[in-house]
Structure 1
Amino acid sequence: MTPTPSIITDEKIIKYNIKTLDFDIEDELKARSIPFTSWGRILVTSATNQYTYNFSDDATASEIEKNLVKNEVIKGPRVIIVWSNAIKPVLSSKIELLKDYSLEIVTEDWDFWIFGDHWILEKYHEGELILINFDSTLKSFL
Protein backbone atom coordinates (compact mmCIF):
# COMPACT_ATOMS: atom_id res chain seq x y z
CA MET A 1 0.00 0.00 0.00
CA THR A 2 1.38 3.41 -1.00
CA PRO A 3 1.60 5.81 1.96
CA THR A 4 -0.47 8.92 1.46
CA PRO A 5 1.27 12.18 2.32
CA SER A 6 -0.28 13.68 5.45
CA ILE A 7 -1.06 16.84 3.52
CA ILE A 8 -3.73 15.06 1.47
CA THR A 9 -7.35 15.62 2.49
CA ASP A 10 -10.49 15.67 0.35
CA GLU A 11 -10.84 19.41 0.97
CA LYS A 12 -7.27 20.15 -0.15
CA ILE A 13 -7.58 17.90 -3.21
CA ILE A 14 -10.44 20.08 -4.41
CA LYS A 15 -9.11 23.50 -3.29
CA TYR A 16 -5.58 23.00 -4.67
CA ASN A 17 -6.49 20.67 -7.54
CA ILE A 18 -4.08 18.02 -6.21
CA LYS A 19 -3.33 15.10 -8.51
CA THR A 20 -0.89 12.22 -8.33
CA LEU A 21 1.56 11.87 -11.20
CA ASP A 22 3.70 9.23 -12.82
CA PHE A 23 6.87 11.34 -12.71
CA ASP A 24 10.49 10.21 -12.80
CA ILE A 25 12.79 12.81 -11.27
CA GLU A 26 15.92 11.33 -12.87
CA ASP A 27 14.36 11.41 -16.34
CA GLU A 28 13.28 15.01 -15.80
CA LEU A 29 16.71 16.14 -14.63
CA LYS A 30 18.39 14.36 -17.56
CA ALA A 31 15.95 15.96 -20.02
CA ARG A 32 16.86 19.37 -18.64
CA SER A 33 20.60 18.60 -18.65
CA ILE A 34 20.83 19.06 -14.89
CA PRO A 35 23.54 16.85 -13.35
CA PHE A 36 22.72 14.94 -10.17
CA THR A 37 24.34 12.46 -7.79
CA SER A 38 23.47 8.76 -7.56
CA TRP A 39 21.50 9.59 -4.39
CA GLY A 40 19.48 12.34 -6.09
CA ARG A 41 21.16 15.60 -5.09
CA ILE A 42 21.32 18.16 -7.82
CA LEU A 43 24.91 19.03 -8.71
CA VAL A 44 25.16 22.74 -9.02
CA THR A 45 27.72 24.14 -11.44
CA SER A 46 29.03 27.65 -11.87
CA ALA A 47 26.86 27.93 -14.98
CA THR A 48 23.70 27.32 -12.97
CA ASN A 49 21.55 30.23 -11.82
CA GLN A 50 21.21 29.04 -8.22
CA TYR A 51 20.64 30.34 -4.74
CA THR A 52 21.33 28.46 -1.51
CA TYR A 53 19.37 29.15 1.66
CA ASN A 54 20.68 27.59 4.87
CA PHE A 55 18.33 26.50 7.64
CA SER A 56 18.73 24.90 11.06
CA ASP A 57 15.25 23.41 11.47
CA ASP A 58 12.14 22.56 9.46
CA ALA A 59 10.24 25.63 10.69
CA THR A 60 12.91 27.88 9.19
CA ALA A 61 12.95 25.89 5.93
CA SER A 62 9.17 26.23 5.81
CA GLU A 63 9.36 30.02 6.25
CA ILE A 64 11.96 30.31 3.50
CA GLU A 65 9.78 28.28 1.11
CA LYS A 66 6.67 30.26 2.02
CA ASN A 67 8.47 33.59 1.47
CA LEU A 68 9.84 32.47 -1.91
CA VAL A 69 6.24 31.94 -3.05
CA LYS A 70 4.82 35.02 -1.31
CA ASN A 71 7.46 37.29 -2.85
CA GLU A 72 7.07 35.58 -6.25
CA VAL A 73 10.69 34.46 -6.39
CA ILE A 74 9.18 31.13 -7.37
CA LYS A 75 5.93 31.32 -9.26
CA GLY A 76 3.67 29.63 -11.74
CA PRO A 77 0.22 28.17 -11.75
CA ARG A 78 1.22 24.61 -10.77
CA VAL A 79 4.03 22.72 -9.07
CA ILE A 80 5.18 19.11 -8.85
CA ILE A 81 6.27 17.87 -5.41
CA VAL A 82 8.59 14.86 -5.13
CA TRP A 83 9.65 13.48 -1.74
CA SER A 84 12.76 11.35 -1.24
CA ASN A 85 10.67 8.40 -0.05
CA ALA A 86 10.06 6.83 -3.45
CA ILE A 87 6.92 5.00 -2.34
CA LYS A 88 5.14 8.29 -1.62
CA PRO A 89 3.16 9.56 -4.59
CA VAL A 90 4.37 12.52 -6.60
CA LEU A 91 1.87 15.37 -6.39
CA SER A 92 0.87 18.11 -8.77
CA SER A 93 -1.00 21.06 -7.27
CA LYS A 94 -1.65 24.77 -7.47
CA ILE A 95 1.36 26.73 -6.23
CA GLU A 96 -0.70 28.19 -3.38
CA LEU A 97 -0.35 24.85 -1.58
CA LEU A 98 3.33 25.70 -1.00
CA LYS A 99 2.48 28.93 0.75
CA ASP A 100 -0.51 27.65 2.72
CA TYR A 101 1.00 24.31 3.83
CA SER A 102 4.75 24.80 3.63
CA LEU A 103 5.48 23.25 7.04
CA GLU A 104 3.52 20.11 6.17
CA ILE A 105 5.39 19.77 2.87
CA VAL A 106 8.79 20.34 4.51
CA THR A 107 8.18 17.85 7.33
CA GLU A 108 6.66 15.09 5.19
CA ASP A 109 10.09 13.59 4.46
CA TRP A 110 13.82 14.21 4.84
CA ASP A 111 14.34 15.68 1.39
CA PHE A 112 12.12 16.96 -1.42
CA TRP A 113 12.23 18.53 -4.85
CA ILE A 114 9.57 20.97 -6.01
CA PHE A 115 9.44 21.61 -9.75
CA GLY A 116 7.98 24.77 -11.21
CA ASP A 117 7.81 25.72 -14.85
CA HIS A 118 11.27 27.39 -14.86
CA TRP A 119 12.72 26.46 -11.47
CA ILE A 120 13.47 23.64 -9.03
CA LEU A 121 13.59 23.93 -5.25
CA GLU A 122 15.50 21.15 -3.49
CA LYS A 123 15.48 20.60 0.28
CA TYR A 124 18.50 18.70 1.51
CA HIS A 125 18.16 17.39 5.06
CA GLU A 126 21.55 18.70 6.16
CA GLY A 127 20.26 22.27 6.13
CA GLU A 128 20.08 23.57 2.57
CA LEU A 129 17.29 24.76 0.34
CA ILE A 130 18.63 25.19 -3.17
CA LEU A 131 16.70 27.15 -5.77
CA ILE A 132 17.71 26.69 -9.40
CA ASN A 133 16.28 28.92 -12.13
CA PHE A 134 16.64 28.14 -15.82
CA ASP A 135 15.17 29.02 -19.17
CA SER A 136 13.95 25.65 -20.41
CA THR A 137 10.41 24.62 -19.59
CA LEU A 138 9.86 21.50 -17.53
CA LYS A 139 9.50 18.56 -19.92
CA SER A 140 6.66 16.87 -18.03
CA PHE A 141 5.04 20.00 -16.66
CA LEU A 142 1.25 20.09 -16.64
Structure 2
Amino acid sequence: MTTGQLLTFSGVVVLGAMSPGPDFAVVVRRSALAGRTDAGTTVESGWWAAFRDGLLCNALNPKAAVFFVALLPQFLPADAGLVPMLALSAIAVAITVGWFLTVANLVAAARRAFSRPATRRLVDGLSGALLIGLGVRLVFTSAR
Protein backbone atom coordinates (compact mmCIF):
# COMPACT_ATOMS: atom_id res chain seq x y z
CA MET A 1 0.00 0.00 0.00
CA THR A 2 1.15 3.49 -0.72
CA THR A 3 1.19 6.34 1.76
CA GLY A 4 -1.64 7.98 -0.18
CA GLN A 5 -3.79 4.86 0.16
CA LEU A 6 -3.11 4.67 3.90
CA LEU A 7 -3.99 8.34 4.34
CA THR A 8 -7.17 7.90 2.32
CA PHE A 9 -8.13 4.81 4.31
CA SER A 10 -7.42 6.64 7.57
CA GLY A 11 -9.52 9.61 6.44
CA VAL A 12 -12.47 7.39 5.61
CA VAL A 13 -12.16 5.62 8.97
CA VAL A 14 -12.03 8.97 10.79
CA LEU A 15 -15.24 10.07 9.06
CA GLY A 16 -16.87 6.73 9.86
CA ALA A 17 -15.85 6.95 13.52
CA MET A 18 -17.12 10.52 13.75
CA SER A 19 -20.53 9.72 12.30
CA PRO A 20 -23.10 9.61 15.09
CA GLY A 21 -24.40 6.20 15.97
CA PRO A 22 -25.04 3.95 18.94
CA ASP A 23 -21.35 3.79 19.87
CA PHE A 24 -21.24 7.60 20.06
CA ALA A 25 -24.33 7.57 22.28
CA VAL A 26 -22.77 4.98 24.61
CA VAL A 27 -19.56 7.01 25.01
CA VAL A 28 -21.41 10.28 25.57
CA ARG A 29 -23.81 8.69 28.07
CA ARG A 30 -21.02 7.10 30.12
CA SER A 31 -18.94 10.28 30.11
CA ALA A 32 -21.88 12.54 30.91
CA LEU A 33 -23.09 10.39 33.80
CA ALA A 34 -19.81 9.33 35.31
CA GLY A 35 -17.08 11.55 33.92
CA ARG A 36 -13.71 9.91 33.48
CA THR A 37 -13.58 8.14 36.83
CA ASP A 38 -16.96 6.38 37.12
CA ALA A 39 -16.79 7.03 40.89
CA GLY A 40 -20.04 7.25 42.83
CA THR A 41 -22.57 6.92 40.03
CA THR A 42 -25.26 4.55 39.05
CA VAL A 43 -23.21 3.54 35.99
CA GLU A 44 -21.30 0.25 36.34
CA SER A 45 -17.73 1.33 36.98
CA GLY A 46 -14.36 0.40 35.64
CA TRP A 47 -12.55 0.35 32.35
CA TRP A 48 -13.63 -3.23 31.69
CA ALA A 49 -17.34 -2.33 31.90
CA ALA A 50 -16.81 0.63 29.55
CA PHE A 51 -14.84 -1.54 27.11
CA ARG A 52 -17.47 -4.28 27.24
CA ASP A 53 -20.28 -1.81 26.52
CA GLY A 54 -18.43 -0.34 23.57
CA LEU A 55 -17.45 -3.73 22.18
CA LEU A 56 -20.99 -5.08 22.41
CA CYS A 57 -22.37 -1.91 20.87
CA ASN A 58 -20.07 -2.21 17.86
CA ALA A 59 -20.32 -5.99 17.54
CA LEU A 60 -24.12 -5.78 17.47
CA ASN A 61 -24.22 -2.71 15.20
CA PRO A 62 -24.89 -3.75 11.59
CA LYS A 63 -23.71 -0.33 10.34
CA ALA A 64 -20.20 -1.00 11.63
CA ALA A 65 -20.05 -4.46 10.06
CA VAL A 66 -21.32 -3.28 6.67
CA PHE A 67 -18.97 -0.29 6.77
CA PHE A 68 -15.85 -2.42 7.26
CA VAL A 69 -16.92 -5.23 4.93
CA ALA A 70 -17.42 -2.63 2.21
CA LEU A 71 -14.35 -0.53 3.07
CA LEU A 72 -11.51 -3.02 3.53
CA PRO A 73 -11.61 -4.62 0.05
CA GLN A 74 -11.29 -1.16 -1.52
CA PHE A 75 -7.81 -0.81 -0.03
CA LEU A 76 -6.53 -4.38 -0.33
CA PRO A 77 -5.24 -6.11 -3.43
CA ALA A 78 -7.17 -9.17 -4.57
CA ASP A 79 -4.44 -11.53 -3.42
CA ALA A 80 -3.88 -9.87 -0.03
CA GLY A 81 -3.29 -12.18 2.87
CA LEU A 82 -4.19 -11.93 6.50
CA VAL A 83 -1.39 -9.55 7.50
CA PRO A 84 -2.49 -6.55 5.36
CA MET A 85 -6.08 -7.02 6.48
CA LEU A 86 -5.05 -7.12 10.14
CA ALA A 87 -2.83 -4.06 9.62
CA LEU A 88 -5.73 -2.04 8.21
CA SER A 89 -7.98 -3.31 10.99
CA ALA A 90 -5.42 -2.23 13.61
CA ILE A 91 -5.25 1.23 12.03
CA ALA A 92 -9.06 1.47 12.12
CA VAL A 93 -9.17 0.39 15.77
CA ALA A 94 -6.46 2.90 16.75
CA ILE A 95 -8.26 5.75 15.00
CA THR A 96 -11.61 4.82 16.53
CA VAL A 97 -10.15 4.50 20.04
CA GLY A 98 -8.45 7.88 19.63
CA TRP A 99 -11.69 9.51 18.49
CA PHE A 100 -13.76 8.10 21.35
CA LEU A 101 -11.12 8.96 23.96
CA THR A 102 -11.30 12.54 22.68
CA VAL A 103 -15.11 12.53 22.84
CA ALA A 104 -15.12 11.03 26.35
CA ASN A 105 -12.65 13.60 27.64
CA LEU A 106 -14.53 16.53 26.07
CA VAL A 107 -17.86 15.36 27.48
CA ALA A 108 -16.29 14.78 30.91
CA ALA A 109 -14.81 18.30 30.85
CA ALA A 110 -18.17 19.75 29.79
CA ARG A 111 -19.83 17.79 32.60
CA ARG A 112 -17.58 19.50 35.13
CA ALA A 113 -18.27 22.91 33.60
CA PHE A 114 -22.05 22.39 33.53
CA SER A 115 -22.09 21.28 37.16
CA ARG A 116 -21.25 24.86 38.24
CA PRO A 117 -24.39 26.88 39.10
CA ALA A 118 -23.19 30.01 37.25
CA THR A 119 -22.64 28.04 34.05
CA ARG A 120 -26.04 26.39 34.35
CA ARG A 121 -27.75 29.77 34.80
CA LEU A 122 -25.92 31.15 31.77
CA VAL A 123 -26.85 28.19 29.56
CA ASP A 124 -30.45 28.25 30.82
CA GLY A 125 -30.68 31.98 30.12
CA LEU A 126 -29.21 31.70 26.63
CA SER A 127 -31.42 28.69 25.81
CA GLY A 128 -34.50 30.49 27.08
CA ALA A 129 -33.70 33.64 25.11
CA LEU A 130 -33.14 31.58 21.96
CA LEU A 131 -36.44 29.72 22.39
CA ILE A 132 -38.34 32.96 23.05
CA GLY A 133 -36.74 34.54 19.97
CA LEU A 134 -37.72 31.56 17.82
CA GLY A 135 -41.27 31.73 19.20
CA VAL A 136 -41.55 35.45 18.45
CA ARG A 137 -40.23 34.87 14.94
CA LEU A 138 -42.76 32.10 14.41
CA VAL A 139 -45.60 34.37 15.54
CA PHE A 140 -44.63 37.09 13.08
CA THR A 141 -43.83 34.82 10.14
CA SER A 142 -46.62 34.67 7.60
CA ALA A 143 -47.63 31.44 5.96
CA ARG A 144 -47.02 31.41 2.22
TM-score (norm 2): 0.23
* Structure with more contact order per residue of length (Cα contacts < 8 Å, sep ≥ 6): 2
Would you tell me which structure has more helix in proportion to its own residues? 2
Would you tell me which structure has more strand in proportion to its own residues? 1
Structure showing greater Rg: 2
TM-score (norm 1): 0.24
